[in-house]
Amino acid sequence: MSKLILSLSELKKEHEDDLKKLSNEYTVIHSLEEASSVKDIEIVYGWNKEEGPKLLENPEMNVKWIQLTSAGVDYMDLALLNKHNITLTNASGIHSYAISESIFGMLLSHTRGIGYSIKKQMKNEWDEVDEAFEMNQRTMAIVGAGEIGRQTGKLAKAFGMKTIGVNRSGKPVDFMDEQFTQAQLAEALADADVVVNILPLTDETRNLFDLDLFKKMKQSAIFINVGRGSTVVTDDLLEALDEGIIAFAALDVVHQEPLPTDHPIYQRDDVLLTPHISGTLEDYSESAYRLFEENFKDYAESKTVSKNVVDYQSGY
């Protein structure tokens, strides 16, 4: 009997044909109902909150590998997957160009007065900004210096910026002038004009950016969050802005999504809010599939994958 790939994310017909060419041992299905036995489901592509957990709870479950189409894995039961020896891979890296471009879009919207001008245009007002400033010779701290961080650093260097990378290990990353470990975060933030948070959500990073950490930043600092909303204590961020501890925030992610319509963030001139769109791609399904295809080639040959394997201990 054919082994099954349960696709819980969009998989185009041509992609299914490609998988069949790579290995005719596997057949793609799109729901649990299509499987004569859940024992035959060996690979899961993508995830949803209905069929995914239902599959894992089945005592006959025989899944070996799950390929997510998201970079974040905080919605997955990592302990359960680890217990069942299921390999989990994510889509980290496919967003690197989109998110890094969004970071600079948000940054320039503020520093060059573009956001201010859009607001005035909607009111039929011609009103020049009081000040605008350049990124050349400024310092950017990139917290979470992985693939997205590396691409962000590359763009920052094109603007003539100094770059400070922060990651868990302190291992050098391309396009970073200095590198710090996460334990050295406060030190890394002290000289940063722009602080970019790209951290995943783990037990270690939850509520990491609190009032004490904002106090380690320059009063003129711009804080940008494209990582996970719950890595930031939102009330502390707003207090830091109110008290002049930092100058401006650009948020693509927040602690609660969608953000309630009565939340004060919407009315603030010192916060730019975008609705979790920095990772939006021109053809998301194509980009995610190419990563899956690369891993599937290895899996079909050796039953192992090597790209974007999630470490259950670190949580990403």
Handedness of CA 97, 166, 290, 47 (dihedral sign): negative
Cβ neighbourhood burial of 38 (10 Å; 0-12, 13-18, 19+): middle
pTM over 0.85: yes
232-239 long-range contacts (CB < 8 A, ≥24 apart) are 232/197, 232/207, 232/208, 233/207, 233/209, 234/265, 236/209, 236/210, 236/211, 237/209, 238/264, 238/265, 238/268, 239/211
Q: Under CATH, domain 96-273 is a member of which superfamily?
A: NAD(P)-binding Rossmann-like Domain (3.40.50.720)
Q: Read off the amino acid at residue 294.
A: E
Decide: 274 and 251 in contact? Cβ < 8 Å: yes
Taking 3-state DSSP, the helix, strand and coil percentages for the chain, each rounded to the nearest 5, stand at 35, 15, 50
d(CA 296, CA 310): 16
Domain boundaries, the chain: 3-93+283-302, 96-273
Please give the CATH number for the structural domain made up of 3-93+283-302.
Answer: 3.40.50.720
Q: What is the pLDDT along the chain (316 residues), one digit of tens a residue?
A: 689 999 999 999 999 999 999 999 999 999 999 999 999 999 999 999 999 999 999 999 999 999 999 999 999 999 999 999 999 999 999 999 999 999 999 999 999 999 999 999 999 999 999 999 999 999 999 999 999 999 999 999 999 999 999 999 999 999 999 999 999 999 999 999 999 999 999 999 999 999 999 999 999 999 999 999 999 999 999 999 999 999 999 999 999 999 999 999 999 999 999 999 999 999 999 999 999 999 999 999 999 999 999 999 999 9
Q: Do domains 3-93+283-302 and 96-273 have the same CATH topology?
A: yes
Task: Please list the active-site residues.
Answer: 228, 257, 276
C-alpha to C-alpha distance for 250 and 106, rounded to whole angstroms: 6
* Distant-in-sequence contacts of 112-117, Cβ < 8 A, 24+ apart: 115/272
* pLDDT value at residue 286: 96
